[in-house]
Chain A
């Protein structure tokens, strides 16, 4: 159990376009999901906390209008990178906390975004 599915696993887009990444908890409900960004050979940096039915909480320095987060149900959160630029190229990883077994969060497999 406790599977988090992230889609797509990789995407290439042109500068100026928008890209949507989905994060689904397949076998549990998750009121809270998290979005991280990982640069090559670096650690994960928390971008935002996604809360079902309310606005996301963004970390300092993360542009809300650029990284749109929607958490419309207890099993789905989406991250939309708007007007993408090459510097947005990165590995994006989501995690979801099981509302029942809430001592840990489970991670998706990540999305490799390349903006050309």
Chain B
């Protein structure tokens, strides 16, 4: 069984400040890990993913995340927040075999203050 915990349902940062969204996972097998962004009344857009290889993953819009197996974490960061980053962010995990359905965290709403 898999699960995802996102610490902090709401995060507020100032424009230009560091963005840090936390994600911890639980999986009995090596996981695939994902970060998605959702704007109101829209589907999900993939920001980045970790499958194998390099543990520091770079995604779109300046986001990156680091897979830390020892900490079972996959935190999302961005050095400098932009107003357009305000959205809902979901961390997700899937197994690397089988049907590989995604299990989502509860989401973190990011607010960016001017």
Interface residues, chain A, CB within 8 Å of chain B? Answer: 4, 6, 32, 34, 42-46, 49, 57, 91, 93, 95, 97, 102-110, 112
Inter-chain contact A46/B49, CB cutoff 8 Å = no
A106 to B44 Cα, complex, angstroms: 8
Docked-complex contact B46 and A104, CB < 8 angstroms? yes
Q: How far is the CA of A43 from the CA of B109 in the complex (A)?
A: 11
A-B contact pairs, 21 of them (CB 8 A): A6-B43, A34-B101, A42-B106, A43-B90, A43-B105, A44-B104, A46-B103, A91-B41, A93-B43, A95-B44, A102-B100, A104-B32, A104-B34, A104-B46, A104-B49, A105-B100, A107-B45, A108-B43, A109-B42, A110-B42, A112-B41
Overall SS of chain A's interface: strand
Contact B46 A103 (CB under 8 A): no
Q: Is the CB of B101 within 8 A of A46?
A: yes
The A-contacting residues of B in range 45-71, CB under 8 angstroms, are: 45-46, 49, 51
Q: A107 touching B43 by the CB < 8 A rule?
A: yes
**A51 CB to nearest chain B CB (Å):** 8
Select from chain A the residue with minimum beta-carbon distance to B109. Answer: A41
How many residue pairs, one in A and one in B, have C-beta atoms under 8 Å apart? 51
A102, A104, A106 pick with most chain B CB within 10 angstroms: A104
Inter-subunit contact B90/A97 (CB<8 Å): no
**Bound form: Cα–Cα A103–B92 in Å:** 13
Q: How far apart are the CA atoms of A105 and B44 in the complex, in Å?
A: 10
**In the complex, which residues 14-30 of chain B have their Cβ closer than 8 Å to any Cβ of chain A?**
none
**How far in angstroms is the closest Cβ of chain B from A94?**
8
Which of A34, A104, A110 sits near B41, CB closer than 8 Å?
A110
